[in-house]
Chain A
Amino acid sequence: MIPIKEVEVLKLREPTEATSQEGDLDGALETVVVRLRDVEGREGIGECDAPPEAVEAFVNQVSAHQMSQNMAALLRGSDPIEIGALWRRLYDATQYPGRRGLGIHALSAIDIALHDLAGKQLGLPAFKLLGGALRPSLRPYATVFQGLPQGRSLQQMMDITAKMLGQALELGFEAVKLEVIFEDLADDRTLVACIEESRRLIGPDVDLMLDFGYRWRDWRQAAATLEKLDGLEIYFAEAALQHDDLHGHARLAERAPMRVCGAEHAATRWEIREWIEVGKVDVVQPDINRCGGLTEIRRIAEFCELAGVLCIPHGWKTGITAACGRHFQAACPAAPYFEYLAPELSRSALRRRLVKSDARVENGLMALPEGPGLGIALDPEAVQEFLV
């Protein structure tokens, strides 16, 4: 195939108030895009979640020894279809500073860009490179994030919740995840009432997921609340405990009346394996742009199938990550849903504008992606506007 000629790192950031100290938990207000270009001028793009300057420095690191090598130099001249081999080579060649954490985020962006570029060279959508479609259409869930309270009252938060839930249903979603990150505004009992109210608002036929935003440090306290939600048909409970508390997750998973899930920050299949074997969660939620890209999440999904666990990826960035969710679900097992940040429900202009082409949702479903690679393209105007 056509070798890679250039490796570019684009840092994109919105000038907003969210870059203040007390900013919201909204990572979609900046992104870092890795753009690969082959010798014939085709481009492949990927993104990841990390400080753009740090990813740029990681990709362009000065080679120090065989476990700490410049990634761009390793990519130049390589054949983009050899994605698995390149993944392994880059992982090994950066394992001293990499292996987990931010280095894997950088590798994720590259892996996504390789899928895009190889797909474009072959004229095939990325999900076909992953093995092909396992299902005729896709099933996303929409996330309703009201922002952190930041001085607003519980009533105000619930008003926003009601409005956004209505929007999600209007957009055609039949599965919605509600962020119940109300901090001190709601004690556990009030929180249960808020969730009951939300269930009432959306009716019985919509799958309802909950994200507790790392609310508890004591699994028994979490369990007491989750037990009170029995009967509300909650699809899963996310981030009830601290991300590192795998033993707590294991105990909670035994007691909770719904699926317990987590691992949104996990990088690599090794971390996910620990979540499954030690954390005993029902659902893992790696982010494709943090866990090691499409290559790694496919391995994770196959491992999940073996372990009787679901893989429902986290996704909260621009249209690049949204596209990855679609290609993932098309081709991977154990994947009943993927998180889809609907542009209409996001306050991020980057989410709405960076990438051209977005899918429609109808009766809870989305069509398989079309077009070669990821099937998307950067909007040059948006790039120009947000480029750092």
Chain B
Amino acid sequence: MRITDVEVTELRVPGWQAESFDGSYDTCVIRVHTDAGISGLAETDSLPGVIRAIVEARPSHTGARGLRELLVGQDPSDIEGLWQRMYDGTSYIGRRGVVIHAISAIDIALWDLKGKAENKTVAELLGTPKRDRMLAYGTVYPLGKTPDEVRKNIDRGLDRGLRAIKIVADPHWHEDVARSERLIRTAREHVGEEVMLMCDAATAWSRAEEGLPLLPVFKDCGFAWLEAPLPVDDIEGHARFSGQGIPIGGGDLGLTTCYEYREMLDAGRIDIAQPDITMLGGLTELRRLCEEVRTRGRRLVPHGYKTNITLAMNLNFLAQHWTEEPLEYSTSESPLRWTLCRERFEVDGDGKVARPQGPGLGVELDPEALARFAVD
């Protein structure tokens, strides 16, 4: 089997004005086609126009080549070899950042393709599936400024049947710690003891001092983790959150490759690596990251806030993960998030989502959605 083409499709919900921190109103779909008539499918949480240009780039020199030109004619089954070929062939312009996003999508598509060729799920290709249903957690954003608003907003998540909720810290939290404590305690009291709670501080704090006073509250309220406490470049700042009784997650804001994670694990001392697999370097780089994380005795919970392609990939990964971890389940109202694939991945009565059983990632694009959202 040989690769014949790499196709990039930009999809966009018309009229989206970028008014909130929600990247699921557009996506970049990649399909790797072969002469055997089967294709691999993936997406990346990145800029579709840039990804297309990186894939279609004319070769400039041996360290600055286009990904399509590097791949066409190659045997798609040697995924790790192709990953290295893409990485080395873009070393002058890639290495970190958006070129790694493009490599991520192609890598995932190659795994999907391999699954289809061998009639296996990606979970089976990655390891031994140990579980068929994953606990889903939804993000509640914005949380609200009063206890009443907190209860109302959390209900939006609970009404979907979710049994795990991630609340999002607001920039005003550090201005009034007492009020913020009230909001956090309200969240716990409202959901009861049984529902898993975590907090994402993605954009709330710019210095460790702003977040540290709330750590005892999170601990007392039994939060499962605190995510992205600081801007991702402030690695030393992350370390100041460590050892305070609540696991610290990090890296979800776009770290690329294991090299970036090593710094975050060693100098940043995070407890949970939260890679977005569609940005990190794909499933191939994820496997390497798993080794790095596991040998350090830390945890890995993938980030994912895009469409059901990403959800299907994360389900496949979590099904065979060395430890049981929850699935990030975007509650975005973007129609792309819900309708791009034929599969729907509903939350069941236990707050869980079943993994797809079809070969590869186990998802198919819905032609109607494709026609509706594709940008020429």
CA distance A57 to B20 in the complex (A): 22
Contact B96–A20 (Cβ < 8 Å): no
CA distance A209 to B85 in the complex (A): 30
Give the contacts of A356-386 with B (CB-CB under 8 A): none
Contact B26–A102 (Cβ < 8 Å): no
**Residues on the A chain within 8 Å of B95, using CB:** 100-101, 243-244, 265
Task: Tell me if A267 is interfacial: C-beta within 8 Å of chain B.
Answer: yes
With A19-B58, A101-B97 as known contacts, state yes or no: A65 contacts B23, CB within 8 Å.
yes
With A25-B63, A30-B60, A65-B23 as known contacts, state yes or no: A101 contacts B256, CB within 8 Å.
yes
Chain A nearest Cβ from B9, distance in angstroms:
15
Contact A265–B97 (Cβ < 8 Å): no
Q: Mark A34-68 against chain B: 1 for CB-CB distance below 8 A, else 0.
A: 00000000000000011101101110111111111
CA distance A166 to B305 in the complex (A): 59
Residue of B nearest to A29 (CB): B60
**Residues on the A chain within 8 Å of B63, using CB:** 25, 27
Contact B59–A23 (Cβ < 8 Å): yes
Contact B18–A23 (Cβ < 8 Å): no
CA distance A209 to B231 in the complex (A): 39
Contact A62–B26 (Cβ < 8 Å): yes
CA distance A295 to B284 in the complex (A): 36
Contact A100–B96 (Cβ < 8 Å): yes
Q: How many A residues touch B, CB cutoff 8 Å?
A: 50
Contact A57–B47 (Cβ < 8 Å): yes
CA distance A25 to B100 in the complex (A): 21
Residue of B nearest to A26 (CB): B61
Contact B50–A57 (Cβ < 8 Å): yes
Contact A21–B99 (Cβ < 8 Å): no
Task: Tell me if A97 is interfacial: C-beta within 8 Å of chain B.
Answer: yes
Chain B nearest Cβ from A219, distance in angstroms:
17
Residue of A nearest to B94 (CB): A101
Chain B nearest Cβ from A128, distance in angstroms:
30
**Residues on the A chain within 8 Å of B92, using CB:** 27, 49, 265
CA distance A100 to B257 in the complex (A): 11
Q: Mark B8-31 against chain A: 1 for CB-CB distance below 8 A, else 0.
A: 000010001010111101100000
CA distance A236 to B342 in the complex (A): 58
Chain B nearest Cβ from A93, distance in angstroms:
11
CA distance A62 to B28 in the complex (A): 13
**Residues on the A chain within 8 Å of B91, using CB:** 243, 265
Contact B233–A270 (Cβ < 8 Å): yes
CA distance A174 to B57 in the complex (A): 38
Chain B binding site: helix, strand, loop or mixed by DSSP?
Answer: loop
Which of B25, B47, B94, B203 is the most central at the interface, judged by chain A CB atoms within 10 Å of its CB? B47
Residue from A13, A100, A103, A105 in contact with B260 in the complex, judged by beta carbons closer than 8 Å? A100
**Residues on the B chain within 8 Å of A139, using CB:** none
**Residues on the B chain within 8 Å of A103, using CB:** 97-98
CA distance A223 to B64 in the complex (A): 28
With A65-B22, A148-B62 as known contacts, state yes or no: A51 contacts B54, CB within 8 Å.
yes
Contact B254–A99 (Cβ < 8 Å): yes
Contact B18–A69 (Cβ < 8 Å): yes
Task: Tell me if A104 is interfacial: C-beta within 8 Å of chain B.
Answer: yes
CA distance A67 to B228 in the complex (A): 14
CA distance A260 to B54 in the complex (A): 32
Q: Mark A306-320 against chain B: 1 for CB-CB distance below 8 A, else 0.
A: 000000000000000
**Residues on the B chain within 8 Å of A60, using CB:** 49
Task: Tell me if B53 is interfacial: C-beta within 8 Å of chain A.
Answer: yes
Contact A51–B259 (Cβ < 8 Å): no
Task: Tell me if B79 is interfacial: C-beta within 8 Å of chain A.
Answer: no
Residue from A54, A63, A65, A274 in contact with B53 in the complex, judged by beta carbons closer than 8 Å? A54
Task: Tell me if B93 is interfacial: C-beta within 8 Å of chain A.
Answer: yes
Q: Mark B55-72 against chain A: 1 for CB-CB distance below 8 A, else 0.
A: 011111111111001000
Residues of B near any A CB (own CB < 8 A) = 12, 16, 18, 20-23, 25-26, 45-47, 49-50, 52-54, 56-66, 69, 91-101, 203, 232-233, 253-254, 256, 259-260, 263
5 residue pairs of the A-B complex, CB under 8 angstroms, read A25-B63, A27-B63, A51-B53, A101-B100, A103-B97
Top 7 nearest A-B pairs by Cβ distance?
A: A101-B97, A57-B49, A100-B96, A54-B53, A53-B53, A51-B57, A63-B18
